[in-house]
């Protein structure tokens, strides 16, 4: 009888946790859809005392914008490569394909953007999960996005020193986010 009761209590606890998580997910989705706050507030009481999705939204929204920037850079790189080498070459195995000029610079920019995304995403998650979000960290994420946009454009046009400066600004913002999350 004791095992059955313990199992029943465990199932109720799991159902309660599942209910809280599902309410938090619903609150997040409603927040993304930008519905009036009374719709979101109906679901957020289950999330009280935790990091609410309404508070995280600006960070994830800006991060999503950076993802869109990376996709746009990939599209620009593919189009530039298509103009340089043609569709049959791009549709082939692309072994030993060396892109030059704008296509080559955009290819390197895409590679750098993916690395930057891999570095900034954990920083954004760390800041939000440690609840160290502030106006400074929000500004750092926004400056990162602007710097990376400038980096992609400047790299495509082949402006060397300004490209390095924008890279340093983006890297500095990422470093700032890590230090904020770690409380350094």
Same-domain status, 110 and 37: no
DSSP assignments along 102-161, one per residue: HHHHHHHHHHHHHHHHHHHHHHHHHHHHTT---HHHHHHHHHHHHHHHHHHHHHHHT-HH
**Taking a C-beta distance cutoff of 8 angstroms, is the pair 27, 54 a contact?**
yes
Same-domain status, 41 and 73: no
pLDDT in tens, 9-30: 444 444 444 444 445 444 454 4
- CA separation, residue 37 to residues 40, 53, 103, 171 (Å): 5, 12, 46, 35
Q: How high is the pLDDT of residue 118?
A: 93
| More confidently predicted of 156 and 33 | 156
Q: How high is the pLDDT of residue 159?
A: 94
Place of tokens 């009761």: 5
**Taking a C-beta distance cutoff of 8 angstroms, is the pair 145, 65 a contact?**
yes
What domain count does the chain have? 2
Same-domain status, 110 and 160: yes
Same-domain status, 173 and 157: yes
Sorted by sequence, the CB contacts under 8 Å of residue 24 that are 6+ apart come out as 43, 44, 46, 47, 50, 52, 53
Same-domain status, 112 and 41: no
Query: Could you tell me what percent of the chain has a pLDDT over 70?
Result: 69
Same-domain status, 123 and 159: yes
Same-domain status, 133 and 76: yes
Q: Mean pLDDT of all residues in the chain?
A: 77
- Find the mean pLDDT for residues 47-66: 64
Q: How high is the pLDDT of residue 77?
A: 92
Same-domain status, 92 and 177: yes
| More confidently predicted of 107 and 5 | 107
Same-domain status, 73 and 43: no
pTM over cut 0.85: no
Same-domain status, 46 and 58: no
Q: Categorize the per-residue pLDDT at 184 as very low, low, confident or very high, splitting at 50, 70 and 90.
A: confident
pLDDT in tens, 114-132: 999 999 999 998 998 888 8
Q: 79-112 burial string, b = 16+ CB within 10 Å, else e?
A: ebbeebbeeeeeeeeeeeeebeebbbbbbebbeb
CATH number of the domain bearing residue 176: 1.20.120.550
- CA separation, residue 138 to residues 4, 26, 72, 183 (Å): 50, 24, 23, 16
Decide if pLDDT at 102 tops 60. Answer: yes
Q: How high is the pLDDT of residue 65?
A: 87
Q: How high is the pLDDT of residue 128?
A: 85
Task: Residue 6: give the domain boundaries.
Answer: 1-50
Length of the chain: 184
- Find the mean pLDDT for residues 149-157: 95
Q: How high is the pLDDT of residue 23?
A: 52
| More confidently predicted of 61 and 167 | 167
């Amino acid at each position: 009888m004791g095992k059955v009761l313990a199992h029943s209590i465990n199932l109720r606890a799991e159902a309660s946790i599942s209910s809280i998580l599902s309410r938090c997910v619903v609150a997040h989705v409603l927040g993304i859809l930008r519905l009036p706050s009374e719709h979101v507030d109906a679901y957020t009481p289950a999330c009280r005392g935790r990091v609410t999705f309404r508070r995280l939204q600006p960070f994830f929204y800006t991060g999503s914008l950076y993802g869109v920037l990376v996709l746009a850079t990939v599209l620009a790189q593919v189009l530039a490569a298509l103009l340089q080498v043609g569709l049959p070459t791009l549709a082939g195995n692309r072994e030993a394909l060396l892109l030059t000029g704008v296509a080559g610079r955009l290819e390197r920019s895409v590679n750098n953007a993916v690395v930057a995304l891999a570095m900034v995403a954990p920083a954004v998650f760390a800041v939000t999960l440690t609840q160290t979000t502030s106006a400074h960290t929000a500004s750092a994420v926004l400056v990162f996005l602007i710097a990376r946009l400038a980096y992609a454009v400047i790299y495509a046009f082949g402006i060397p020193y300004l490209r390095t400066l924008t890279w340093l600004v983006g890297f500095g913002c990422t470093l700032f986010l890590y230090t904020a999350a770690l409380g350094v």
